[in-house]
A and B are shown apart, each in its own frame.
Chain A
Amino acid sequence: MLTFTLRRLLLAIPTLLLISLVIFFLVDLAPGSPASEIPLTVPAEVRAKILEAMGVNAPVYVRYGLWLKQFFYIEPLYAFDSLTGSHYAEGMQRIISYQTRSPVFDVIVQRLPQTLIVIGTAYLVGILIAVPIGIYSAYRQYSLFDQFGTLLAMIGFSVPTFFSGTLFIIIFAVWFGWFPTKYDTTLNVTDWASFWKQVRQMTLPVMTLGLANAASISRYMRSSMLENMGQDYVRTARAKGMSEQTVVLKHVLRNSMIPVVTVIALGIPSIFGGAIITENLFGVSGIGSALIGAIHANDLPMVQTLAFIFAILIVLFNLIADVLYGLLDPRIRYD
């Protein structure tokens, strides 16, 4: 297992380097120049100096090398410094956003909590809805509940989130007025009243994303349960006279959770990146909306860094899912 993990980790390095190359060069082709963000009132020679200080005149391979160094060496060093209060990274050039002229990672650190709270809750809610529904649909296969659940799941992953989210806004925010239409990022939770406000403004985005996630996870749960329900050990357990509850919730559920857990792990990168639509629709200023804003504003370092972080997360959670599968299922041997 350990050798497998190590080998996969080593294999991930060239993959990630290649991805970083693709992302960097594709984004670097962008037609907009960083000069367009500098006000026209700035004199030409000052403008030239600003551009030179930003390092945009250097050849592309120099900038790529610098970006890699900043991403993998300087930024982690800065994070280490700010955690321990040391001064190793002092004076080193960090990745600077064209838009805000501040380090890209500072923006990410500011934005990340919003994304994690809203999108993370949505993912959790999705799992909590999906697992019981999947179990019960499989246990009562072809029952009314199962057929209704199948229909709902099919609708759940056919209706795109930008439409379901809009519908929820129209129904629950405009017609009934139960929830606000926009998410207020500046709200600080200090007491019960503000906490209640936070819950209310989170409801619609969480519902939108949670339902979409629940639809696919409940399908996996159902088919995985069905696969195990017909196994011999289930008959043995029943023959031993165990209660249905023990058979289903202990014997079958544990084995059925193995593929579902890996599917859940594979979906985690989308918590960080895939929620672009929901964040945009509800005005949650998290990572996804930072990316869209950066794309519209030609903020190349921001787009490159964010896209590469998403790629790292995808590769990492693929690896985690594979390792989890091996750990949870003793029948799987990688070596």
Chain B
Amino acid sequence: MTDATVVMEKPASQGKAIWQQFRTHKGALFGLIVLGILIVSVVIGPFLWVPEKLRVAEAIMLKNQGPSLRFPLGTDQLGRDMLSRMMAAGKVSLAVGFVAMFIAMTVGTTIGILAGYFKRLDGPLMRLTDMFLALPLIPLLLVMVMLFRDRIASIIGPEMGAFALIVFAIGVTSWMQAARIVRGEVLALKEREYVLAARSIGAIPRRIIFRHILPNVVSPVMVAATLGIADAIITESVLSFLGLGFPPDFPTWGRLLFDGLSYMQIYPERVIWPGIAISLTVLSVNYIGDGLRDALDPRIRGR
């Protein structure tokens, strides 16, 4: 090979181009910053703000306090510091969102690729997707939690049990959108020349799928994943709100809101803080999804 005589200008990397487009979406940038702050404060916050150890008698004396320097968000009906509870709850809420989304995307992408690539599987898998879409999800989630909560808790403990069960239940009931999107993409990608070329040199389906198809369905899956986080967080808080979510000593924002409901009239802030946290998270995630959709669409990008 001879050396190239003309030095080509290096094209901007794809990541950079996507970031350029993403930056122009004000809402998305706002969402990214807010979500970043929320994540940092629930991950690092507990190290910076260590609640003082109180004896039970002291805690009872200090219950239902308003905001003060000692307790920035006040204390709850058992004298627990609301700020550290909010941070602990946020960690669980966000973890539920991310892990449930990850399960949903894995299942959805797998089913979508199988249905799109293998014609024989298309019919049955899409019927399955349609059936899942017709299931009344909230009632079934409630039933699932009620059914398996005690059994799973007895195996891996009440806290991890609740987490595993709820994350799994949300994950396996919210993969349908991703599966449909991926299937549509794969059906189109499968007919492209480079896939034909790969097949003509004897590449086996597994290699074609992993090398040529999967990288090309990443962007729609990423958008669906972002919106999936918001859905998972809301679903989890709905379950907690109906009293079938996490136990009170392992709270999420939804659980804190549910606990605050009984004191709503006297201490409304106990409902408002977790509510604002959930709403801000979902709002910023939705905006990020919006921005990502624009940024990942090459037809919009670069205009």
Contact = CB atoms under 8 A, between A and B. Distances in A.
A318 B133 CA distance: 10
Contacts of A113: none
Given A26-B147, A158-B279, A274 B140 contact: no
A145 to B, nearest CB: 17
B150 A31 contact: yes
Given A160-B237, A166-B264, A170-B271, A276 B143 contact: no
Interface string B184-207: 000000000000000000000000
Contact of B257 (A26, A31, A163, A291): A163
B33 interface: no
A306 B230 CA distance: 27
Contacts of A280: 242
A295 B136 contact: no
B134 A154 contact: no
Contacts of A314: 133-136
B218 interface: no
Interface SS, A side: helix
B142 A158 contact: no
B276 to A, nearest CB: 8
B42 interface: no
B286 interface: yes
Contacts of A273: 136, 138-139
B238 interface: yes
Interface string B262-289: 0011001001100100110011001100
B272 A167 contact: yes
Given A154-B283, A160-B238, A169-B264, A311 B135 contact: yes
Interface in A168-201: 169-170, 174
B144 interface: yes
B71 interface: no
B153 to A, nearest CB: 12
A280 B130 CA distance: 29
A30 B143 contact: yes
Interface string B99-110: 000000000000
A265 to B, nearest CB: 15
B250 interface: no
A77 interface: no
A155 B268 CA distance: 21
A282 to B, nearest CB: 12
Interface residues of B, number: 40
A212 to B, nearest CB: 11
A58 interface: no
A66 interface: no
B57 interface: no
A170 B242 contact: no
B127 interface: yes
A295 B139 contact: yes
B146 interface: yes
A163 B264 CA distance: 12
Nearest to B145: A295
Nearest to B254: A162
Contact of A167 (B135, B230, B243, B275): B275
Contacts of A22: 131, 135
Interface residues of A, number: 40
Interface string A293-335: 0011000000100110011001100100000000000000000
Nearest to B27: A154
Contacts of B279: 155, 158-160, 163
Nearest to A159: B279
B138 A276 contact: yes
A135 B279 CA distance: 27
Contacts of A318: 134
A292 B272 CA distance: 25
B241 interface: yes
Contacts of A274: 138
A264 interface: no
B234 interface: yes
B250 to A, nearest CB: 20
A318 B131 CA distance: 12
A225 B234 CA distance: 30
B150 A158 contact: no
B275 to A, nearest CB: 4
B61 to A, nearest CB: 27
27 contacts: A19-B131, A26-B147, A29-B147, A31-B150, A154-B27, A157-B286, A158-B230, A159-B279, A159-B282, A160-B234, A160-B238, A163-B257, A163-B275, A166-B257, A166-B261, A166-B264, A166-B275, A167-B272, A170-B265, A174-B265, A273-B138, A276-B138, A280-B242, A295-B142, A295-B244, A310-B139, A311-B135
Please provide the 6 A-B residue pairs with the shortest distance between their CB atoms, ordered closest to farther: A310-B136, A163-B275, A158-B283, A158-B282, A159-B279, A170-B268
Interface of B: 27, 127, 130-131, 133-136, 138-140, 142-144, 146-147, 150-151, 230, 234, 237-238, 241-244, 257, 261, 264-265, 268, 271-272, 275, 278-279, 282-283, 286-287
Interface of A: 15, 18-19, 22-23, 26-27, 29-31, 154-155, 157-160, 162-163, 166-167, 169-170, 174, 273-274, 276-277, 280, 291-292, 295-296, 303, 306-307, 310-311, 314-315, 318
Given A22-B131, A273-B138, A295-B143, 8 more contacts: A26-B143, A154-B286, A160-B238, A163-B257, A166-B261, A166-B264, A166-B271, A307-B140
